[in-house]
Each structure stands twice: as C-alpha cells, then as structure tokens.
Structure 1
Amino acid sequence: MKILITGGNNAKALKLMKAFPSHFVLLADYGDVPAIVTENYAFSSLGLLNKDSIAHILLNFCITEAIDCIIPLHEYEVLPLAKSAVLFGEYGIQVLLPNADVIADYLTAEKITRQNFAVFIHGDRIFSTEEELVPKNGSSNLNGVFGFNNADDLKLFTI
C-alpha cells in the first residue's frame, strides 16, 4: 500500500511514519521539499499552495503517484478532503478522515499539545503511541489519525 502524508516537512509527519512500517510512505508538502528517496519512504513536492483548489491538487497528485491512502495533516486540507472523500474513493483512494458530517467533533481551535496519537480505520485502532489511554475500538466513523492525552480527548492530528 502506498500512503501519502501531507505536511511532510513537519516533525509530526515523520512521527506518523512509524504507524505504517510495512507500507511505502510518501511525505509531501507544498513548495520546496528535500529530495530524499529510500526503500520505505520518500519526500515529494505538491507544488505551489492554492487553498482554493486543495482537493483538486491532492486528487491529481494521488492519481499521478498511484496513492492508495491519503492522510492530510494541514488544517486547511481537512474539511475539503472530508467533503471530497467519495470522489477520492471512486479512484480507489481512501481519505483517512472522519465523515464530513461528524468531522467538526474532532476539530479544535485550541492549540493544546497532545502527547500521543492513534490511527483508526473504520473504528479499529491499528496503531497507538500509548495503548492504555485510548480505546481499542470506536464507532465506525472513527477514521483517521487522532492526537490525545486521554481517551475522552480525541482530536484530529493536524499541523
């Protein structure tokens, strides 16, 4: 499986790579990105940032690079991609975010640092930095990467 993580120039994206040890991870960001390619991961540029056409830029990139799953980390990408998840799905690309109708429950305006993160796919926890603090399984809309300090504090893992 080939996974795209946006915000590739940020340390959070690098931390997230450990959740996918058996997959190829493409770390991408807007503007200049270091040209590093290894057996398990690579860095790539998404081109110039245009917030008005984020979903279009990312869909084209995913199709061109044969991406199977996208994990958006930039806050300005989250809502457009959640709303476009069905379109991405038509191309066989999974958008790892909660459904657009519940995504507001997992967004926060507060800049609280959450020490841990967990990855859920359709309610099943596939990775967690702290096993004891987060539930193993959640509702089926629990889809994405969530930062947390305790099990009641799940918020999207964004930059």
Structure 2
Amino acid sequence: MKILITGGNNAKALKLMKAFPGHFVLLADYGDVPSIITENYAFATLGVLNKDSIAHLLLNYCITEAIDSLIPLHDYEITPLAKSAVLFGEYGIQVLTPQPELIESYLSIEKNTFDNFVVFIHGECIFASGGEIFIRREDELSGVFGYNLPDDELKLFTV
C-alpha cells in the first residue's frame, strides 16, 4: 500500500511512519521539500499551497502518484478532505479523517504536543504508539489522534 502523509516537513509526520511498517510512505508538504527517496519512504512537494482548492490539488496528486491512503496533518486540510472523502473513495483512495460532522469535537483549541498517537481505520485501532489497546470506536471513526494518557479525550494529530 502507498500512503501519503501531508505535513511531511514536520517531525509529527516522521513519527507516523512507524505505524505503517511494510508500506511505502510518501511524506509530502507544500513549497520546498527535500528530495529524498528510499526503499520504504520518500519526501515530495505538493507545489504551491492554495487553501481554496486543497481537495482538488490532493486528489490530482493522489491519482498521479497512485496513492492508496491519505493522512492529512495540516489543520486546514481536515475539513475539506473529510467533505471530499466520498469522491476520493471513487478513485480507490482512502482519506483518514473523522466524518465532517464530527471534526469539531476532535479539534484541539490550543496547539498541543502529544506524547502518543493512535491510528483508527473504520473504528478499528491499527496502531497506538503508547502500546495501549483501544477498544473499537464508532465504525465511521478514521484518522490519527493524539493523546498523552490512555484516558484522555482523543484530539486530531495535526501540525
């Protein structure tokens, strides 16, 4: 599977790579990005940032690069991509965000650095950096969420 993680110039994106061993991870960001390609991952540029057409830009990029799954880390990408997830799905691209109507409840008011993160795909926890076992959540819950302690409220893991 080929996974695109946006915010690739940020350390949080690098942390996420350990959640996907055995998959090729493309770390991408807007503007200048170092051109590094290895067997398991690469860095790439998404070009010039245009927040008004973010979903269109990322859909074109995902189709061109044969991306299977997209993990948006920039906070300004979350809502437009959640609203466009059905369109991405028509091209076989899975967008890991909560449902659009749930996003507000998972946003953090202040920028937070989390000790841990957890990845959910359709309610199933596929990775928790703290080693905890998370019980299945709502079937529609997808995305990367940060937490410090296992009992904390999960918040979107954004840059």
- Do they fold alike, i.e. is TM over 0.5? yes
Q: CA deviation at 1:149?
A: 1.6
Specify every segment of 5 or more residues in structure 2 that has no aligned partner in the other structure, as ranges.
Answer: none
* TM-score, scaled relative to structure 2: 0.96
What's the CA shift string for 1:15-65, capped at 9, x where partnerless? 000000110000000001101000000011000001110001000000000
1:41-56 alignment runs, 5 A limit: 41-56=41-56
The range that moved more, 100-109 or 22-31, is 100-109
Distance, in Å, in 2 between the alignment partners of 1:89 and 1:12 is: 25
Distance, in Å, in 2 between the alignment partners of 1:24 and 1:11 is: 18
Distance, in Å, in 1 between the alignment partners of 2:112 and 2:5 is: 22
1:1-159 alignment runs, 5 A limit: 1-132=1-132, 135-150=134-149, 151-159=151-159
Distance, in Å, in 1 between the alignment partners of 2:33 and 2:111 is: 26
Count of aligned pairs:
158
What's the CA shift string for 1:59-103, capped at 9, x where partnerless? 000000000000000001001000100110011000001111111
Between the aligned residues of both structures, percent identity stands at 71
Query: RMSD over aligned Cα, in angstroms?
Result: 1.1
Distance, in Å, in 2 between the alignment partners of 1:113 and 1:15 is: 12
Specify every segment of 5 or more residues in structure 1 that has no aligned partner in the other structure, as ranges.
Answer: none
Q: Please give the secondary structure, in 1, of the residue aligned with 2:47.
A: coil
Distance, in Å, in 1 between the alignment partners of 2:85 and 2:27 is: 20
Q: Please give the secondary structure, in 2, of the residue aligned with 1:101.
A: helix
Distance, in Å, in 1 between the alignment partners of 2:93 and 2:102 is: 20
* TM-score, scaled relative to structure 1: 0.96
